[in-house]
């Protein structure tokens, strides 16, 4: 960008600058705009489905679980089969959360009824708590909750991706329907109003809190917390499905003197989880990193077995490109413990300086999915993608290159967004690379089942997955032409200032 600004004629408006960058991108990418080199090596859509289905069939895959450990071994075998070198595991000690049992017993004048509930993530002990109840609403005095089992409607905020559109860089939505996507917030601690109510209740020392998910689909299997910021974690909180909430409400109406008993058995087990990575050497001393996480809440089809299948697709493709033709060394990382504050990606960044210090760009590939809706407690899967973000580092050249290829691959319902769209760092496992100063291109979507047990293989958007793979491949072949990032300007093999001069002298861009 500095070179561009130095040679631009005076008087250009910002819109002309952007036009030049977009036209330049089209000019320098035309060599890759049609045929991808070695295109026969790109996997077909069955590749993704079969891999995700194999992973999901292993069972619940929270960090450090038996299914997660199986996947670490699977990664090593897969990487070896594609000829990756220096296959390495990095062992990371964590506490692996395990729910053995959890239910609510309602004892009334008509007998005892047992209803399923699910603990929130901080509940890592076992107990049986019996007591009287109180149903909390806007008329309830807070001091009346002390010592009681509190039942409260936890209303998930509406989530509308189009609300972010004013702050994104590019939008590719030729059907003009991103604004039609509205569903319950899939990450519960981001429902600020409900979280604030729970925090007020907890400050008055109830015995336990049951959060009824009345505006979600009918499940209590939700992976999350009522609030990310609260520190009152010695009072157990639980999720309850809307149907069980209705059954509970009926029972309590029939006998206001009912007693409740919460029985739960959960634990945190010390385990070692592992990052797994391997390298394909290329025609460079520099690295490109591809990563996604191998753990997942519940069965984690789209979050994030699909992400590691996208990394595997890059492995398959680049392993069939001769080393002399690979433009860079390539690192393929399946990182661990995303659901433990992304400690796996942070560990990799902190403990592989020989790679990190030579990394030009990180592609973090997570969670492409079909869109879901909730209608009267029923979960409906739509035949279109959940809107996606590519969090992309701050240079017009990199972002416009991505945008050009998104359009070319017709990757609809896409935002190209700044990494800081949601905070000081991007969401997901790209944040460790971004915080280390590495340019990123990070794909993410947040469907309604993002943190719930319904995240299964029927939610896969396999058509988009193949387009994402092709978009990333096109970007890598085009990377020698990317400007505006110091790592590229210092080490990139091609100077394109002459091309910029030609464009600036083009009559279409004259003031």
| Boundaries of domain holding 299 | 38-96+270-475
Calpha distance 349→344 (Å, rounded): 9
Close Cβ partners of 57 (under 8 Å, ≥ 6 residues apart): none
Q: Is residue 465 part of a domain?
A: yes
Q: By mean pLDDT, which of 21-25, 153-157, 325-329, 340-344 is the weakest?
A: 21-25
Q: Is residue 123 part of a domain?
A: yes
Close Cβ partners of 237 (under 8 Å, ≥ 6 residues apart): 119, 120, 122, 123, 198, 202, 208, 209, 210, 211, 225, 226
Give bridge partners of residue 259 from the DSSP assignment. Answer: 107
Question: Could you tell me if 220 and 210 are in contact, meaning their C-beta atoms sit under 8 angstroms apart?
Answer: no
Domain boundary among 237, 269, 301: 269
Query: What confidence score (pLDDT) does residue 504 get?
Result: 38
Q: Is residue 256 part of a domain?
A: yes
Close Cβ partners of 358 (under 8 Å, ≥ 6 residues apart): 285, 286, 287, 329
Q: Is residue 20 part of a domain?
A: no
Q: Are residues 279 and 228 in the same domain?
A: no
Close Cβ partners of 449 (under 8 Å, ≥ 6 residues apart): 186, 302, 369, 372, 379, 455, 459
- Residues of the chain with pLDDT > 70, as a percent, come to 87
Q: Is residue 510 part of a domain?
A: no
Please check the confidence at residue 268 and state whether its pLDDT lies above 80: yes
* pTM for the predicted model, two decimal places: 0.88
Kindly report the CATH number assigned to the domain that includes residue 442: 3.40.630.10
Mean pLDDT of the chain: 89
Query: What confidence score (pLDDT) does residue 229 get?
Result: 66
Q: Are residues 391 and 304 in the same domain?
A: yes
Which tens digit of pLDDT belongs to each residue from 404-451? 999 999 999 999 999 999 889 898 899 999 999 999 999 999 999 999
Q: Is residue 12 part of a domain?
A: no
Which tens digit of pLDDT belongs to each residue from 370-415? 999 999 999 999 999 999 999 999 887 899 999 999 999 999 999 9
């Amino acid at each position: 960008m500095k070179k561009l600004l130095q040679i631009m004629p005076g008087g250009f408006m910002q819109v002309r600058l952007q036009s030049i960058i977009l036209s330049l991108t089209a000019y320098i990418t035309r060599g890759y705009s049609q045929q991808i080199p070695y295109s026969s090596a790109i996997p077909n859509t069955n590749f993704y489905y079969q891999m995700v289905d194999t992973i999901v069939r292993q069972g619940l895959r929270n960090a450090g679980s038996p299914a997660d450990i199986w996947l670490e071994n699977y990664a090593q075998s897969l990487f070896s089969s594609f000829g990756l070198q220096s296959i390495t595991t990095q062992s990371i000690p964590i506490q692996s959360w395990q729910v053995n049992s959890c239910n609510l017993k309602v004892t009334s004048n008509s007998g005892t009824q047992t209803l399923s509930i699910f603990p929130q993530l901080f509940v890592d002990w076992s107990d049986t708590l019996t007591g009287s109840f109180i149903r909390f609403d806007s008329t309830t005095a807070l001091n009346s909750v002390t010592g009681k089992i509190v039942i409260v409607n936890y209303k998930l905020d509406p989530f509308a991706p189009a609300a972010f559109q004013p702050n994104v860089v590019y939008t590719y939505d030729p059907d003009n329907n991103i604004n039609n996507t509205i569903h319950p917030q899939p990450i519960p601690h981001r429902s600020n109003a409900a979280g604030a109510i729970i925090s007020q209740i907890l400050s008055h020392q109830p015995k336990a809190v049951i959060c009824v998910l009345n505006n979600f689909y009918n499940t209590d299997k939700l992976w999350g917390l009522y609030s990310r910021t609260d520190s009152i974690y010695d009072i157990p909180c639980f999720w309850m499905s809307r149907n069980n909430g209705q059954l509970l409400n009926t029972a309590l109406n029939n006998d206001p003197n009912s007693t409740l008993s919460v029985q739960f058995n959960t634990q945190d087990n010390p385990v070692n989880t592992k990052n797994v990575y391997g390298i394909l050497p290329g025609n460079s001393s520099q690295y490109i990193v591809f990563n996604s996480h191998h753990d997942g809440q519940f069965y984690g089809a789209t979050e994030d077995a699909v992400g590691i299948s996208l990394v595997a697709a890059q492995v398959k493709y680049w392993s069939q490109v001769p080393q002399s033709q690979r433009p860079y060394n390539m690192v393929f990382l399946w990182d661990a413990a995303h659901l433990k504050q992304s400690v796996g990606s942070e560990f990799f960044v902190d403990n592989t300086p020989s790679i990190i210090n030579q990394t030009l760009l990180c592609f973090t590939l997570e969670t492409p999915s079909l869109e879901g809706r909730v209608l009267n407690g029923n979960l409906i899967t739509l035949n279109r993608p959940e809107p996606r973000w590519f969090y992309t580092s701050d240079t017009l050249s990199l972002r416009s290159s991505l945008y050009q290829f998104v359009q070319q691959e017709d990757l609809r319902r896409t935002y190209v967004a700044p990494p800081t769209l949601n905070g000081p760092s991007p969401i997901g496992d790209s944040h460790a690379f971004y915080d280390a100063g590495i340019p990123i291109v990070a794909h993410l979507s947040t469907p309604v089942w993002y943190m719930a047990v319904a995240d299964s293989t029927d939610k896969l958007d396999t058509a988009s997955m193949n387009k994402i793979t092709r978009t990333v491949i096109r970007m890598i072949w085009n990377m020698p032409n990317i400007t505006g990032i110091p790592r590229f300007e210092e080490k990139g093999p091609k100077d394109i200032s002459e091309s910029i001069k030609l464009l600036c002298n083009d009559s279409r861009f004259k003031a």
